[in-house]
Amino acid sequence: MVDLLAICIFLAGVGAGVLQTVGCGGGLSVAPVTITAPTPVSITISPSSAAVGTGGTQPFTAAVQNTSNTAVNWQVNGVAGGSAPTGTISSTGLYAAPAAVPSPATVTVTAVSQADPTKLASAQVTITAPTPVSITISPTSATVNVGDTKQFAATVQNSSNTAVTWQVNGVTGGSTTTGTISNSGLYAAPATVPRPATVTVTAVSQADATKSASAQVAVVLISTEALYVATTGSDSNPGTISAPWKTIQHAANTVQAGDTVYVRGGVYSESVNIGVSGSAGAGPVTFQSYPGETAIVDGTGLTPSTSDTEGLFNIASQSYVTIQGFEIRNYQTSSASAIPAGIWISGSGSNIQILNNLVHNITTTSEKNGNAFGIAVYGTEAPASLDRVTLNGNQVYSLKTGNSESMTVDGNVTNFAITNNTIHDNDNIGIDAIGFEGVSSSPTYDFARNGVISGNTVYNITAINNPGEGNQYDADGIYVDGGSQIIVERNLLHDNDLNIEAASEHSGRVASFITIRNNVVYHGNSVGISIGGYASNVGGSDHITIVNNTLFQNDTKNTGSGELQVQYYATNNVFKNNIVYATSQGLFINNYTNSEPSPVDVDYNLYFSSLNSASGDFLWNGTDHTGFASYQSATGEDSHSQYVDPLFLSLTTPNLQVQPASPAVNKGINLGSAIEGVLDFAGNPRLPGSTVDIGAYQQ
């Protein structure tokens, strides 16, 4: 007899997948059984993507299913726990972003199951630079009478800390000389007009001391009596607001020290000679447009003198005179013997202020041998100088000046300030400080000196269509031609023939002790910055210190002049802490003569172009060196300098501030504020700490 129960047990023991229904004693049946693989471990991560600012954190969670062991190991870019460059992650999934944006900026955070290490889930994390602190100031400019006050306000964004530190001319709290400012932004002007008369009020963010905003404050001495001129007036009137005079000249013949002449809006066709001075006690004699109106002095139909330079405003050997807020235009000659000017200042005197005027279309059509000026200051006497002349806030454009300049100080001119002017679209030099032209009656005093050229914007200055300059690319944006002890700082120059030059055109003479710092210089037709005489039979340059400037793609006309040009008779000069970004021509230094064995000390600069380091062109003492390393080895210059991308914010605008990760940051040599200046190009503190950046901007 067959043992059905044993058979059933046997079939079950051998693992039959399906047992047929059989009679297993007493009608016992065997049920079908399905054998399956175990459910695999799975894992998910949340969130699956995130954006995190540098230095920020982001928590992640991982959910592990189908296992009792839900623990995970965390990785960043495949590295357990992450790393400093890509960010770290804790055992609990808290991701900490790095201090700087990595490259690439997106990293991968991964959770790996401990129960089954083949199971993982990932999230993409994009590291972003934090929104920088920004600051604005209101108002951005003001005119304040001596002893008066002006309230300023600062707005700080992108920080919970909105406190600011107030400065005047870079000094926290200001000083009695330039004016003081309280913690709440209340500026108190000094008791006397400072030198220069325009000061800078700056609000520095306490959240980020590299961020600041500035306002320009003109400190003036307001007069004791107001007089009025209007096109509808009469010179037989008393000069009141209800019965004004008709001509500005009549006002000039009548006023006394401390008076202000308000000229109502309209066109005045006259050349005005101001033969009266103000005084330190009574105040200046002031001529200005009536508030909210523009008085226009128009030279149409007037014939300039052929015996001397003649301006639409003329000041000869006077002091404490202010001309403010006029439009001065349309003064022309076809005679090479006549020299028209917008404003002509000559002789000796002091404390003359030319403020916020619009000067344009002053021209000579006899440019081959003729001359014209926008604003000219000629110190013709000796030993008495034209002292403390301020040219501030003027716009000078559309001039045809022949052999002369748009804005110039020449001869015995001392302690001058050329600040915050806009000079553009003229066919000869923009701003010039000149010496040794025979302007002063004594050769000993015949040079402009002890001045400041600061905060100006100069562009589109070219002599290519000026026959007086031989129709060449040889007009400077800013030129110190034989001047001495002059600071050229925080100017913006672009699309000029030579953006900045310091030299002398007279044999045996030099431009000397000139500091060129914190300027932005780009797209020069011929060159960025030039020192040394242009020929072997002219003068040169001595003690020219060129520091913390940004030069970008100059010599756009491929003249072969490059970014820094060193010519004849250059001695004791310095070129340090500059960013030099050349065009595809790759000509960084054009020191084409060997007139001096060591014309300039060059170091701590940053060079770059679209050419690689081995292709850059450095011409030194007449010898051409191809390649940065070859130039360093052969000359011993630039031993601490770099050839690397400075990482500008934009090449197309251009915006020549550098990114926080720029190799220019903290890589300069600290030469001290006396050399580098108190403020960078943007008005931020140049030395917020002990380190200095290369270029015109400080982080």
**Which of these CATH numbers, 3.40.50.300, 1.10.760.10, 3.40.50.360, 2.60.40.10, describes 42-128?**
2.60.40.10
- Residues (pLDDT < 50) of the chain are 1-27
CA nearest to 480, candidates 523, 422, 519, 531: 531
Helix (H) or strand (E) holding 4: helix 4-13
Q: CA dist 331 to 58, 310, 357, 375, Å?
A: 68, 10, 15, 13
- What is the value of pTM for the model shown? 0.75
Rounded to whole angstroms, the Cα distance separating 676 from 656 reads 18
Query: Over the stretch 684-696, which tens digit does the pLDDT of each residue have?
Result: 999 888 899 999 9
Quick one: DSSP state of residue 534?
S
Rounded to whole angstroms, the Cα distance separating 187 from 151 reads 6
270 and 306 in contact (C-beta within 8 Å)?
Answer: no
List phi, psi (to 5°) of 89: -140, 135
Peptide bond into 104 cis (omega under 30): yes
Bridge partners (DSSP) listed for residue 329: 298, 360
Residue 245's contacts (CB-CB under 8 Å, 6 or more residues apart) are 227, 228, 229, 230, 233, 234, 235, 237, 239, 251, 254
CA nearest to 518, candidates 656, 339, 334: 656
Rounded to whole angstroms, the Cα distance separating 548 from 696 reads 5
Rounded to whole angstroms, the Cα distance separating 447 from 434 reads 6
Rounded to whole angstroms, the Cα distance separating 649 from 85 reads 22
Parts of the chain belonging to CATH 2.60.40.10? 42-128, 134-220
Write the burial class of residue 144 (CB in 10 Å: 0-12 exposed, 13-18 middle, 19+ buried).
buried
Q: Where are the beta strands (DSSP E) in 334-411?
A: 340-347, 349-355, 358-364, 373-379, 386-392, 395-397, 407-411
**Amino acid at site 284:** P
Q: State the pLDDT at residue 30.
A: 59
Q: State the pLDDT at residue 224.
A: 62
Bridge partners (DSSP) listed for residue 620: 623
List phi, psi (to 5°) of 469: -110, 15
Residue 253's contacts (CB-CB under 8 Å, 6 or more residues apart) are 275
**Homologous superfamily, domain 134-220:** Immunoglobulins (2.60.40.10)
Give the DSSP per-residue string, 537-575.
TS-EEEEEEEES-EEES--TT--S--SEEE-BSEESEEE
The token pair at 234 is 């009469």
Q: State the pLDDT at residue 689.
A: 83
| Strand bridging mode 174-175 / 179-181 | antiparallel
Rounded to whole angstroms, the Cα distance separating 3 from 7 reads 6
Q: State the pLDDT at residue 18.
A: 40
